[in-house]
Amino acid sequence: MALYFYITLISLIIHFVLIVPFINFLYKKKFQRADQKTLDAFNKPTPIYDSFHKHKSGIPVGGGILVLLVSSFLTLFFVGGFKFFEIHTNTNYPSIILELVIILFSFLSYGLLGVFDDLNKIFIWKKKQFFGLSLRIKLIFEIILAVIISSALYFGLQISIVHIPFFGVFDLSYFYIIFASFVIVAFANAVNITDGLDGLASGVLLIALISFWTVARSIIDVPLSIFIAVWIGGMIAFLYFNIYPARIFLGDTGALSFGAAFAVIGLILGKAFALPIIGGIFVIEIVTSLIQLISKKYMGKKFFTVAPFHLLLQYKGWEEPKIVMRFWVFSIIFALFGLMIAFLK
C-alpha cells in the first residue's frame, strides 16, 4: 500500500514542477480562451453564461494536456519498474498489457479529440475548415472511439457482465459493447459539461478517483491501481492552480479524456452500477443539460432558466466558490454511497 502513496507523491511533485513553466508556455503560445467579442462573432451568444464568464478570457486552456501526457508516461514508467524489479503485478484479466493499452488508449484518444475542439475555440476556426468540429461530428467521433474501447473490453478482457447489488450478475453478451459505449460517451460529455467553474470538475473527479482507487486496491488490480495513483497526483497538482481564481483550465482536451477514462475505470473494475453514484455530480450536470436540450427542441421552451445545474445556481445568486465547495461536499457523500454499493455482494 505504501508503494502507491509514493507513486502518487512522485507524480504530484513532477506535475507541480512542470505546471508553472507549462502555464507560461501556454501564455506565450496564446493558447487561451478567446475574448468574448471574438467568440460572439463566430458563435451564437449565450448572455447568461457570458455574463458570468467574460472575465475569464485570456486564461490558458490546456491544463489537461500536461496531466494527460505526464500521467501516461509515468504510468508506463512505474508499470515497467514493477516488471523490472519483479514486483508482483496482479490483474483480474488475461493480459496486463492489453488492460494498460485500453486504459491509455481511452485517455489519449479522447484527449486528441479534445485538442481539436480546444483549437477551434481558441483560434476560432470556421466550420468549413478541417479542424472545425461541429457538435454532431464530434459526437460521431466520440461514439466511434467508445465502440473501439468497448469492443476491446469485450473481446480482449472478456468483460460482458454487469453486477447489480441485491439482484445478481447479468451477462449482456454482445449488448455489453452498446452498454459500455453509452457509458463512456455519457461520462466524457458529463465531465466536459461540469468543467464550467474554477476547480469544479477537477475537484469532483479527484474525489471520485480516490474512491475507485480504493476499489482497485481491494481487488489487487495493479496496473489500474498504478494508473489511478499517478492520475491522482496529477489532479492534485492541477487543482492547486485551478481553484478560484483559476490560473489554468482543463479544456476539452482534459475534460473529454478524463471523463472517458473515468468511465473505463468503472467498467474494468466491474462497478458500472456504482459508477453513476460515485460520479453523481457529473450525472446531475449532464441530466439537467439533457432535459434543457430536449425541452427546447421538442417543447419549444426552456425547462430551466439556464443549464447545467451549476450555472443555474450562479444565476440564482450563488457565488462561484460556494457552488464549487458544496459540490465537493456532495461529491464526497456520493462517493461514500457509491463505495457502499461497490462492495455489496
Which residues make up each annotated binding site?
192, 252
Contacts 24+ apart (CB under 8 A), 39-42: 39/121, 39/124, 41/124, 42/124, 42/126
Distance, CA of 154 to CA of 159 (rounded, Å): 5
CA angle 117, 118, 120 (to 5 degrees): 65
Helix or strand run (H / E) with residue 255:
helix 251-268
Q: Where are the beta strands (DSSP E) in 29-185?
A: 161-164, 168-171
Distance CA 276, CA 183 (A): 9
User: To 10 degrees, the CA torsion angle through 137, 141, 142, 145?
Assistant: 170
Distances (CA, A) of 189 to 141, 142, 345: 12, 9, 30
Instruction: Determine phi and psi for 162, rounding to 5 degrees.
Output: -130, 125
Q: Which residue in the block uniquely carries the three cell numbers 473501439?
A: 148
CA distances from 53 to 33, 245, 312, 314 (A): 11, 12, 14, 11
How far apart CA 215 and CA 322 sit, in angstroms, is: 30
Contacts of 203 (CB under 8 A, 6+ apart): 239, 243, 324, 327, 328, 331
The three cell numbers locating residue 321: 466558490
Is 106:260 a contact under the CB 8 Å cutoff? Answer: yes
Measured CA to CA, the distance from residue 161 to residue 272 in angstroms comes to 10
- Mark the binding-site residues for Mg(2+), compressed into ranges: 192, 252
Contacts for 211 with CB less than 8 Å, ≥ 6 apart: 278, 335, 338, 339, 342
